[in-house]
């Protein structure tokens, strides 16, 4: 009986060992084969035309391909206005006198609207005055634009109501543009605008003709020929 029991026990143990050995062997081999097949599939896979790309890869590619171009927004300028401003701000050569400075000034170009207002005021208010008197009138207008009490443009100052008697209906009357007086007025306007020559009535913001007496409570600065200047 003991022999039979031992034989049965040995047989059962042998069967269990064989079963375990058989299960472990094929299982490990299958896992290795699956791993190898997976690796082979990954390494040899080729992109398929028309297939959707991986979103992460596509995002990286798109980001690397983006190029930002910054271009300034340029507004076209009026060529006539540019030329007028350049002429108004051009610096002439040194001159020994105001008359020499005026004679050497280029007045052939078109005037901007503001410079036309300045020259027009000089023309109508002082065309019969010497150049120094014309310059003093021009500088009154320039000085006003630099003060907070008046508009900040030449046309704003000249066309302001009840300031200059030559203004008609808020506009400057017609000018004889072929006259020497207009040529001088344009040159003096440039001199006053660029402060190229000292005004004999420095700092003045008011003036009147000698034949009137407005009784202003202002500081008298100078008299230049037929005008008296104040500030």
pLDDT in tens, the chain (231 residues): 444 444 444 444 444 444 434 444 443 333 343 444 444 333 333 333 333 344 444 445 455 555 555 555 555 666 655 555 555 555 555 889 999 999 999 999 899 999 999 999 999 999 999 999 999 999 999 999 999 999 999 999 999 999 999 999 999 999 999 999 999 999 999 999 999 999 999 999 999 999 999 999 999 999 999 999 999
Q: What integer pLDDT is reported at residue 90 of this predicted model? A: 57
| Secondary structure (3-state) at 168 | strand
Q: What integer pLDDT is reported at residue 32 of this predicted model? A: 42
Q: What integer pLDDT is reported at residue 50 of this predicted model? A: 36
Tokens 């047989």: give the residue. 11
Give every strand in the sheet of 220-224, ordered side by side: 206-209, 227-230, 220-224
**Domains of the chain, residue spans:** 79-86+93-199
User: Pairing relation of β-strands 206-209 and 220-224?
Assistant: unpaired
Q: How far is CA 72 from CA 69, 75, 79, 157, in A?
A: 10, 10, 20, 36
Alpha carbon distance 112, 83 (integer Å): 9
Q: What integer pLDDT is reported at residue 169 of this predicted model? A: 93
- Is residue 169 left, alpha or beta, with left meaning phi > 0 and alpha meaning psi from -120 to 50? left
State the pTM of this model: 0.61
30: Cα within 13 Å, side-chain hemisphere: 6
Alpha carbon distance 64, 89 (integer Å): 50
CATH of domain 79-86+93-199: 1.10.10.2520
Q: What's the helix, strand, coil split of the chain in %, to 5?
A: 50, 5, 40
């Amino acid at each position: 009986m003991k022999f039979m029991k031992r034989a049965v026990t040995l047989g059962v143990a042998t069967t269990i060992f064989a079963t375990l050995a058989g299960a472990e062997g094929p299982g490990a081999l299958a896992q290795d084969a699956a791993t190898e097949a997976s690796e082979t599939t990954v390494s040899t896979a080729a992109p398929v035309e028309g297939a959707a790309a991986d979103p992460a890869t596509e995002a990286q590619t798109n980001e690397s391909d983006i190029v930002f171009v910054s271009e300034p927004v340029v507004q076209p300028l009026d060529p006539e206005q540019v030329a007028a401003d350049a002429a108004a701000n051009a610096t002439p050569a040194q001159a020994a006198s105001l008359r020499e400075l005026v004679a050497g000034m280029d007045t052939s170009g078109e005037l901007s609207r503001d410079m036309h207002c300045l020259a027009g005021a000089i023309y109508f208010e002082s065309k019969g005055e010497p150049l120094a008197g014309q310059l003093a009138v021009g500088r009154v207008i320039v000085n006003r634009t630099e003060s907070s009490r008046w508009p900040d443009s030449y046309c704003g100052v000249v066309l302001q109501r009840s300031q200059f008697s030559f203004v008609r209906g808020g506009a400057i009357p017609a000018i004889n543009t072929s006259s020497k007086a207009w040529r001088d007025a344009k040159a003096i306007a440039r001199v006053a605008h660029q402060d190229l020559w000292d005004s004999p009535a420095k700092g003045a913001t008011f003036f009147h003709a000698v034949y009137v007496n407005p009784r202003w409570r202002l500081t008298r600065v100078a008299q230049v020929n037929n005008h008296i200047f104040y500030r």
